[in-house]
Amino acid sequence: MVTEKPPGKAVSVSSLSALRWQCRRGMLELDILLNAFLDTQYAQLSIIQRGTFEVLLSYPDQTLFELLMGKMASSNPAIAEIVKQVRTAIVP
């Protein structure tokens, strides 16, 4: 069940810059998805969801790719929700 959460604090430029660097991966597909999410949806996340996104960024590229391409599902509901949001970030 998705509940509305108030957005977290405003994102600082240095924090956003560090996240953008972490979103640079070895696969173009990951770069596109992660940066689109960062640009369009990250600022609306709660502080807890932002932490979950950072955990997701710590995953190896292959695991991240399989999650974001729908080839693997996370058993962690918080990660699964962030993955779902990232996957829809580039849909107009």
Say yes or no to pLDDT of 63 above 90: yes
- 36 vs 7, residue with greater confidence: 36
- Closest C-alpha among 59, 60, 15 to residue 38: 15
Q: Read off the pLDDT of residues 12-62 as tens digits, 9 standing for 90 and up.
A: 666 888 888 899 888 999 999 999 999 999 999 999 999 999 999 999 999
pLDDT at position 59, please?
A: 96
List the structure tokens of 61: 């590229």
Domains and CATH numbers, the chain: 13-87 (1.10.150.250)
Q: Which of 52, 59, 62, 48 has the alpha carbon at shortest distance from 22?
A: 59
Which of 88, 92, 91, 90 has the alpha carbon at shortest distance from 2?
Answer: 88
